[in-house]
Amino acid sequence: DAKTTQPNSMESNEEEPVHLPCNHSTISGTDYIHWYRQLPSQGPEYVIHGLTSNVNNRMASLAIAEDRKSSTLILHRATLRDAAVYYCILLSTGNQFYFGTGTSLTVIP
Amino acid sequence: EPEVTQTPSHQVTQMGQEVILRCVPISNHLYFYWYRQILGQKVEFLVSFYNNEISEKSEIFDDQFSVERPDGSNFTLKIRSTKLEDSAMYFCASSGGGSSYNEQFFGPGTRLTVL
């Protein structure tokens, strides 16, 4: 399974942008970069995914480094509801998701 | 908005008993998955299922586990003889056709407690 490295925890003030980093230096050319989050006592929830280009959706933006060895999930205005564990996952051929320990995001009112 | 549902929400069983966890994936999805999360630990992949057969499974998914899609809507995980260490949240997920890289939609989970 391809490895990702994320900080264990981060804090953000409410209504401010949050940049959640992920390193994946061993990424291969066909690996997609997926981000999921898990709110307390819930199942994981899809946030965004991309391959090479930056991606935007209604929840977040994904900035992918040119060499693809790192990516950043950007929440444009953090809300209390965004407090969760955020997982950066590489999806290779086949469809196994390997969840790491993720980044626990605390949003401060 | 369509969603994945799971029943029961909480299952308590005695060690050695068989349990069946049930999931109803999103109706037009083609790929189905089971994951588990032991309390306080990370989410672990168990198995993926496509075209009525297992496409991948992890080393956790041993002979005690089996999956089935008995009809057009349900997707089940059976644990034949439960052990204490099987106590965990079990999540079902499904994803749409066209690509296995599509987003996976997760259900709310079944909490399995083995006594």
Residue B100 clears pLDDT 60, i.e. is over it: no
DSSP state of A80: G
Q: Can you give the pLDDT at residue A44? A: 94
Distance of alpha carbon A53 from alpha carbon A76, whole angstroms: 18
pLDDT digits (tens, 9 = 90+) for B25-82: 998 898 999 999 999 898 999 999 988 899 889 999 999 999 999 887 899 999 999 9
- DSSP E strands in chain B: the ranges are 5-7, 10-13, 19-24, 31-37, 43-50, 53-57, 65-68, 75-79, 88-95, 105-106, 110-114
Q: Can you give the pLDDT at residue B70? A: 86
Mean of the pLDDT values across residues B82-109?
Answer: 87
Distance of alpha carbon B94 from alpha carbon B34, whole angstroms: 9
Q: How far is CA A76 from CA A34, A70, B10, in A?
A: 18, 19, 36
SS3 B86: helix
Match 């089935």 to its residue by tokens. B68
Among the partner-chain residues A44, A91, A101, the one whose CB lies closest to the CB of B106 is: A44
Enumerate the residues of chain B whose CB falls inside 8 A of the CB of residue A45.
106
pLDDT digits (tens, 9 = 90+) for A40-93: 889 999 999 999 999 999 989 999 999 999 999 999 999 999 999 999 998 876
Select from A41, A91, A95 the residue whose CB has the most chain B CBs within 10 Å, as the one to mutate to test that interface. A95
Q: Can you give the pLDDT at residue B49? A: 92
* Terminal Cα-to-Cα distance of chain B (whole angstroms): 37
Enumerate the residues of chain A whose CB falls inside 8 A of the CB of residue B95.
95
Alpha helices in A53-95 (DSSP H): none
Distance of alpha carbon A5 from alpha carbon A8, whole angstroms: 9
Buried b / exposed e across B82-102, counting CB within 10 Å, b at 16+?
beeebbbbbbbbbbeeeebbb
Q: Can you give the pLDDT at residue B83? A: 96
- Name the closest residue on chain B to residue A33, using Cα atoms: B101
Confidence of residue A28 (pLDDT cuts 50, 70, 90): confident
B105 with A97: Cβ contact below 8 A = no
B85: tokens are 């260490």
Distance of alpha carbon B73 from alpha carbon A50, whole angstroms: 30
Residue A30 clears pLDDT 80, i.e. is over it: yes
B48 with A96: Cβ contact below 8 A = yes
Confidence of residue B97 (pLDDT cuts 50, 70, 90): low
